[in-house]
Structure 1
Amino acid sequence: MRKKLFDTTFGKLTVAYVFLGVIPLLLLSVLFFSRFTDSVRETMIRNYAQINGYFARNVGDIIESADDAMAELYEYETDLGESLAAVLKDTERSDGERALEVVNALNSVMSQSKHIASTRFVDFNGHIYSVYYNQEKTLRNDAEYYTQMSIIPKDRLRDLRVLGTTEESNICINTDDFIFVLVRNYMDTTSMNRAYNTALGTLFADINVDVLDDLVKKIGLEKGKLYICNPEESHYVYSQDRKDYLDGRNPLGKKVMAHLTDDEGYEKIDDNWIFYAKITGTEEYAVLALSDVEAMGYYFSNRTMMVVILLFSCIFLVLLYIIFSNRMTEPVRKVQEAMKQVENGQMDVRLEIDSHDEMEIIADGFNKMVERLNDYINQVYVARICQKDAELNALKMQIQPHYLYNTLDVIRMTALEENDETSAELLECLAHQLRYVMGEHTDCIVLQDELQALREYFVIMKVRYEDRIGLSIQVSDEDTQLYIPKLLLQPVVENAIRHGLREKDGEGTVAIRVERKEDFLEIVVMDDGVGMDEEQVRIMQESLDDPEIGKVDANGCLSVGMKNVYDRIKLNCGKEYGFRIESFLGVGTIVTYHLPVWEEPENVESSDRG
């Protein structure tokens, strides 16, 4: 029966290694990575939220600075102390005088904020005024979108509006800059009602995007991209990739735009982190977008290092386990190999184990056991083999004269009664019989030779009993080449003739049938003689089963030949083999042999003989 893995020393060491080494290490590693990941994620979210908040506040400061400067229009006064509203509503002024005052007011606005690159003003009569720091720039005649009063909805006349970034060449000539535009209506403040409902003009303040680029450089963002966008109008005030302005692309996408609802926050959308913060006083959002790999780059780099450390630790533990396991199991393997050698008959094996533990005690016990076993074999086993050989030889010597005497007696009686040439044939058969019985001394013989000896024996028996007996043999050609102990069938056949057929009136037959079963050979010897009752059969079987070699009971029911055959089978073939007797009065007797299947003579000598 095969041992289970857990029943071996190696299996137990493996279980101990897995449950006490590898699994705890993996659990600790998973716990560490889980906590480390949470910590890194929290730190990342906090840092990038602070960066985006800082960016939003600075952009808000820039817009607030420009918005405060745009409010300077309400503070402007002419040399006569008139407000800009009075100038715009004065119908007696010429266009040139009005333009001079509006330009002065625009210069005043630009002087209040360093972020404003140019301004434009459109009054309620449709007159357009513009002022540029760079005198080479000139307003385009087809820049209607950036020079109209209706650019701010009527329901939000007083609100500040931020237009998306565009090329400045769409507004003026002689420029290749990008700008975003702040738009406010200039309300009529001459009365409270008009201040809320009547606009005298619209002021446009252009801010160069380079101002935002300088802010981004100052932040020093290494990963991710910053944007300023309006989710309602889906335009961009700032993008680090200026192609977004030219192509009208939406780099953040509609899904991100839809999440920009609160004043600030963050979301993870499609493996990307989005941090957003609303710019104060506007509808614009500062957005920081970066991938999960970029956001967790510090974690991934540390995770790689931790994985390397973990793998190194596992390899180290495996090496320790192998070394420890080899040292623990080496004595066991030595004992196992020594036991196999002893099993193969090498009784001079000795174990040398110097481990100073239980295995050394086992080795000493094993050596003593082998020594004692060797002594036992020499004293007992060899002696029993010699005794067995002597018993076999004694049985042979006992059966051979017995057989010879009976045969000679038959020939003698026949010669006296017949007095003819039949004696010659009988003597020839006798010679063959003597040659077979007294010839080469061997424990086994081919079944074919044994059957041929029976046929020659029956030649003599037919003459003796005047052809009243016959012999029938059923055997395959293949089975005739099997080996059986010598002189195995003749004593039983002789017994069948003398005690079965001789007492019968009329003719009789001895039938022999040979059949190979799955794992044994069956030979059946049957006669149709007078038979025996149950009591005689029982006494004969008990005599056969008597452990004393060659013993025959005093009442003469069992012949010496049959007892010898039975004992020889036990000695040569094994205790599980032999034959059984069945008999019925007036019907006949059946003797069934149960023998091993011997296909080669060497199998006989190497077989287990009990």
Structure 2
Amino acid sequence: MKRIRVYHALRVKLGIIAIVLIALPVIAISITYSKTVKEIIKNKYTDTAIQSVFETGEKIDFILKDIEEFSTVIISNNNLLHMLKNEADYGVDDFKNVLRGFITSRDDIEVIDLLLQERNYSIGATKITSNYKADEALENSSGQPIWIPTKKENIEILSGIFDKYYFTLARRIIDFNTLDDYGYLLIDLEEVILEQSYKSLIDDENTELFICDKNGTIISHTDKDRIGTSITAQPYAQKVLSSKDFNNYVQYKDKIDKVAIYSTIESNGWKIIKTISTGYLYEEINKIQKYFLLGGFLYGIVIILFMIFFSIRYTEPMMKMKKVINKVEQGDLTVRTEVHSNDEVGQLGDSLNNMISEMEVLIDKLVKEEQEKKEVELEALHAQINPHFLYNTLNTIKWMAKIQGNKSVSRAITALIKLLRISTNLGREMITLGEEIDYVKNYIVIQKLRFNEAINVTYDIDDECMELTVPKLFLQPIVENAIIYGIGDENNDLNINIKSFIDNGDLIIEIIDDGPGIEDEILKKIFKSTSDKNKFSKVGLNNVNQRIKLYCGKGYGVQIETKVGTGTLVRVALKVNE
């Protein structure tokens, strides 16, 4: 048997099928599902982060609006407006007392300044280097609140001087009844107020969180050195500052992947911005994905191992059957495969065992039939040896009888010579039916001399049958048996009719005699008895029947119909051979 290469083996194919149809789809689904889940969770997590920044922005916006409302209370105070109208009537202490009343009501305000046309009044922390001048936006305003970016101030506390960062609310003081312009109100608030509002959002050392104005100038930052600097050089700045979205996020790359989450403070358009690395932002998501991929990988490995076990488990019987088939090919029909299951593989094993058993029976039968055929041929050969030796001797005796004028002896010897001529023709196993009839006629000549013309034979042979080939010497033994059982010891006249015709594509030959018939006990032994070497026939009905079956098949052969006292019919069925 041709050797199977490894990559052609059924186990390998099953393993590949398992990987292609099970493991790879599982892994692909795991990766796809993981990415989808990660994207969903990332969006949800980002939305949560945006929401937290937005809520912080709202908190700061609430603080700023509260300051704006407080500034409105100050500039609309009737007492202060009266003093501003009649500034010359009031001294510095009078103004400070009024301002002190406002500042003491709030804990978050550090300094309140009144910048008037002639004089300036200040209450709260003492600023050493303050020389604020109204900027263009404040000068062009009509009384609305203007938020001024954070600046560093030198503050004198007791005997020391300290640096503090203040962001300022400034607005023009206008009497809306008379539209008189008196100057500017400045309210300074410590930058720490803003930092405390968003500090809780800083959850990693790589997280940066700050507030900047519309131009990108940092208003509040945990790193105070960054206050007053610009973010316009940052990769996310343009998208954040130009975005029309109230809150959103921007992904960017700064050595590592990062995301900038921002929210706009409604009061003044400032933006609170939180930058964080995506690695940290999605740290838990990445862990989930890693576990998910690991689980999918392990599941794929388990599936592959299971399929390998499955392929080995279910191909092992096939491998055993293959070994059995190899031994059968080498001629060993005693081997059998083991069957341990009731499934299709088990049924295949049973079928293989049954097939080998049938093969063994058939081969034994063929060997036996071949042996029987050889025995028949050997027996025929033995029967032909003596006639062949006698052929020349009888030919000499025939001529001697003719010389002496004994015609009966000459005719008998002539008929015998013709019989011997056919029987000694070893090179032909098949002869025509016409030749077989001639052989029978010569045999009848001899038998008539023996039984004093007590045998009458008639021939009813279809012309189309005469040239059909038949096994040699099949008809004479049947006629001989008809004579033996038909005349017996009483030497009564015997009539024999030999007929031949075609029936359903088969050659049928019937030998009919009017003898006493054959008894049942003898009939049962006819096809079982061996040849009687004391009789002329060396073949016998059993031998004829076997030869016909060997040459023509099991469906052909000799059949006998007899009834004691009425005669016998022997029917021979042969395959038609042109």
TM-score (norm 1): 0.51
Contact 1:278 1:284 in 2 (8 A): yes
Contact 1:74 1:84 in 2 (8 A): no
Contact 1:119 1:130 in 2 (8 A): yes
Is the counterpart of residue 182 in structure 1 residue 169 in structure 2?
Answer: yes
| Higher RCO (CA < 8 A, seq sep 6+) | 2
Contact 2:236 2:250 in 1 (8 A): no
Deviation at 1:303, TM superposition (A): 1.3
Deviation at 1:230, TM superposition (A): 1.0
Could you tell me how far apart the structure 2 residues matched to 1:33 and 1:254 are?
30
In the other structure, the counterpart of 1:265 is 247
Letter in 1 for 2:108: H
Q: What root-mean-square deviation, in Å, do the aligned CA atoms of Structure 1 and Structure 2 show?
A: 4.1
Is the counterpart of residue 256 in structure 1 residue 244 in structure 2?
Answer: no
Contact 2:34 2:293 in 1 (8 A): no
Which secondary structure state, in structure 2, belongs to the residue aligned with residue 149 of structure 1? coil
Deviation at 1:235, TM superposition (A): 1.1
Is the counterpart of residue 238 in structure 1 residue 227 in structure 2?
Answer: no
Could you tell me how far apart the structure 1 residues matched to 2:239 and 2:343 are?
75
Contact 1:277 1:287 in 2 (8 A): yes
Is the counterpart of residue 226 in structure 1 residue 209 in structure 2?
Answer: yes
Question: Residue 174 and residue 72 in structure 1: after superposition, are their counterparts in 2 closer, same or farther (change >3 A)?
Answer: farther
**Pairs within 5 Å for 1:128-527:** 128-133=120-125, 138-141=126-129, 143-144=130-131, 147-150=132-135, 152-169=137-154, 174-189=161-176, 191-192=178-179, 194=180, 198=181, 200-217=182-199, 224-232=207-215, 234-245=216-227, 248=229, 250=231, 253=234, 255-260=236-241, 261-262=243-244, 264-270=246-252, 271-340=257-326, 350-364=336-350, 366=352, 372=359
Contact 2:138 2:172 in 1 (8 A): no
Letter in 1 for 2:139: K
Contact 1:179 1:207 in 2 (8 A): yes
Letter in 1 for 2:58: R
Deviation at 1:55, TM superposition (A): 0.8
In the other structure, the counterpart of 2:69 is 68
**Pairs within 5 Å for 1:68-147:** 68-76=69-77, 83-88=82-87, 90=88, 93=89, 97-125=90-118, 127-133=119-125, 138-141=126-129, 143-144=130-131, 147=132
Contact 1:264 1:277 in 2 (8 A): yes
Deviation at 1:328, TM superposition (A): 0.8
Question: Residue 340 and residue 150 in structure 1: after superposition, are their counterparts in 2 closer, same or farther (change >3 A)?
Answer: same
Which secondary structure state, in structure 1, belongs to the residue aligned with residue 140 of structure 2? helix
Deviation at 1:364, TM superposition (A): 5.0
Question: Residue 219 and residue 112 in structure 1: after superposition, are their counterparts in 2 closer, same or farther (change >3 A)?
Answer: farther
Contact 1:184 1:203 in 2 (8 A): yes
Deviation at 1:8, TM superposition (A): 5.5
Question: Residue 167 and residue 149 in structure 1: after superposition, are their counterparts in 2 closer, same or farther (change >3 A)?
Answer: closer
Contact 2:141 2:172 in 1 (8 A): no
Deviation at 1:304, TM superposition (A): 1.7
Which secondary structure state, in structure 2, belongs to the residue aligned with residue 184 of structure 1? strand
Deviation at 1:327, TM superposition (A): 0.3
In the other structure, the counterpart of 1:533 is none
Question: Residue 50 and residue 368 in structure 1: after superposition, are their counterparts in 2 closer, same or farther (change >3 A)?
Answer: closer
Which secondary structure state, in structure 2, belongs to the residue aligned with residue 64 of structure 1? helix
Deviation at 1:325, TM superposition (A): 1.0
Question: Residue 361 and residue 283 in structure 1: after superposition, are their counterparts in 2 closer, same or farther (change >3 A)?
Answer: closer
Which secondary structure state, in structure 2, belongs to the residue aligned with residue 319 of structure 1? helix
Question: Residue 171 and residue 287 in structure 1: after superposition, are their counterparts in 2 closer, same or farther (change >3 A)?
Answer: farther
Deviation at 1:344, TM superposition (A): 6.6
The runs of 5 or more residues in structure 1 that have no matched partner are: 385-610
Deviation at 1:282, TM superposition (A): 1.0
Could you tell me how far apart the structure 2 residues matched to 1:313 and 1:370 are?
44
Question: Residue 151 and residue 188 in structure 1: after superposition, are their counterparts in 2 closer, same or farther (change >3 A)?
Answer: farther
Could you tell me how far apart the structure 2 residues matched to 1:149 and 1:257 are?
29
Could you tell me how far apart the structure 2 residues matched to 1:153 and 1:171 are?
28
Which secondary structure state, in structure 1, belongs to the residue aligned with residue 91 of structure 2? helix
In the other structure, the counterpart of 2:467 is none
The runs of 5 or more residues in structure 2 that have no matched partner are: 372-578
Contact 1:279 1:286 in 2 (8 A): yes
Contact 2:165 2:191 in 1 (8 A): yes
Contact 1:122 1:149 in 2 (8 A): no
Question: Residue 11 and residue 150 in structure 1: after superposition, are their counterparts in 2 closer, same or farther (change >3 A)?
Answer: closer
Deviation at 1:204, TM superposition (A): 2.3
Could you tell me how far apart the structure 1 residues matched to 2:341 and 2:277 are?
61
Deviations along 1:411-469, whole A, 9 cap, x unmatched? xxxxxxxxxxxxxxxxxxxxxxxxxxxxxxxxxxxxxxxxxxxxxxxxxxxxxxxxxxx
TM-score (norm 2): 0.53
In the other structure, the counterpart of 2:58 is 57
Deviations along 1:317-361, whole A, 9 cap, x unmatched? 122112111101111222334445566777775533423334344
Deviation at 1:53, TM superposition (A): 1.8
Could you tell me how far apart the structure 2 residues matched to 1:171 and 1:188 are?
34
Q: How many residues align?
A: 361
Letter in 2 for 1:273: V
Deviation at 1:154, TM superposition (A): 3.3
Which secondary structure state, in structure 2, belongs to the residue aligned with residue 169 of structure 1? strand
